[in-house]
Amino acid sequence: MGNVPGVKPPELQSLVRIQDRLTFLYVEHCVVNRADNAITITDKRGTVHVPAAALSVLMLGPGSNVTHAAISLLAESRSTCIWVGERGVRYYCHGASLANSTRLLEKQARLVSSERSRLKVARKMYAMRFPGEKTDGLTMQQLLGKEGTRVRRAYERESARTGVAWSGRSYKTTDFDDADLVNKALSAVNTSLYGVVHSVIVSLGCSPGLGFVHARDERSFVYDIADLYKVDITIPLAFDLAALEVADISSAARKALRDKMKDGKFLARCVHDIRFLFSEEEEDDIVTEACDITTQIWAGAADYSQAGHNFSAGSANDHYGDDV
């Protein structure tokens, strides 16, 4: 390939490992630019330089403006960028994934494409929600019934604990205000939970649309994973907020969930749970270390072959070029 203008991106092995980077940096009401190999963040207080290679995720909040140069540097440094709501409690979209391999995505696609393996993953999800109870052999209808009973009892339990009246889950996606206080709180805090879970899923390189219980929605897998935590996290939180009768329940719900997750333990838990759901008996764990991934071509029964070669007869060793 001919000369390409610009600085050549660094090799993957020369970059700072993800585990040694800052987990994330949240910015708002500022301009994000580039100075050499640093990201500059400028607001009314001045300018701060942040080494791009030290970042895992740059979270752009309301009022943020980012330049082409800054995004290019983040991409070269294998740092991702996500656009979020105030204080990072709502996820909107993302840049490149943190994953350097499609291994998890391929496993997700394979597991969801077979009724047997899909049901197996669904049973694992429900087993995580019903500790001490066996889910082996249960059909999806039976699992859904058990989950419905569990959630109903959770609502009743939190209503009794907080003294907040509960008459059932009722809301309109098109009209947030057409609901009682506790239902508003549930809608707001669950939306924030979806945003956090969505961020984790895309950072791992998985598809948010390939769900195992939920289906045919662009966020099916987001709903699957979020449902693992609602009884423990969002339902009690929503009833607590409703009991306080706060004026702006939507804002209070988002900030309360943010405060509950700011220590980072939930993110680690969510990553672990996704990897566990995709794990299989013959595998002890999924590789998390950064490594060079050589692009390959699927060769059918011959398995995989290295990309960048001409596979026609007599040309097996011909290389296509550096652009492959």
Write out pLDDT tens, residues 42-63: 999 999 999 888 887 898 999 9
- Residues 232-258 have a mean pLDDT of 93
Q: Do 173 and 186 touch, CB atoms closer than 8 A?
A: no
Q: Is 163 left (phi over 0), alpha (psi -120 to 50) or beta?
A: left
Distance CA 71, CA 48 (A): 17
pLDDT digits (tens, 9 = 90+) for 244-255: 998 899 889 988
Distance CA 194, CA 229 (A): 11
**Residue 1 pLDDT exceeds 80:** no
Global pTM? 0.75
Q: Which residues contact 201 (CB under 8 A, 6 or more apart)?
A: 207, 208, 221, 222, 225, 274
% of the chain at pLDDT higher than 90 = 50
DSSP H helices, 66-139, are 68-76, 103-112, 115-129
Task: Name the least confident of 77-81, 147-151, 152-156.
Answer: 77-81
**Residue 278 pLDDT exceeds 80:** yes
pLDDT digits (tens, 9 = 90+) for 72-125: 998 888 788 889 888 777 778 888 776 778 999 999 999 999 999 999 999 999
pLDDT confidence tier of residue 175, bands split at 50, 70 and 90: confident
Quote the pLDDT of residue 288.
Answer: 43
Mean pLDDT, all residues of the chain: 83
Strand segments, DSSP code E, in 36-176 are 38-43, 46-51, 57-60, 64-66, 80-84, 91-94
Distance CA 305, CA 311 (A): 10
- Residues 139-162 have a mean pLDDT of 95
**Residue 148 pLDDT exceeds 80:** yes
**Residue 299 pLDDT exceeds 60:** no
Token pair of 131 as six digits: 């500790």
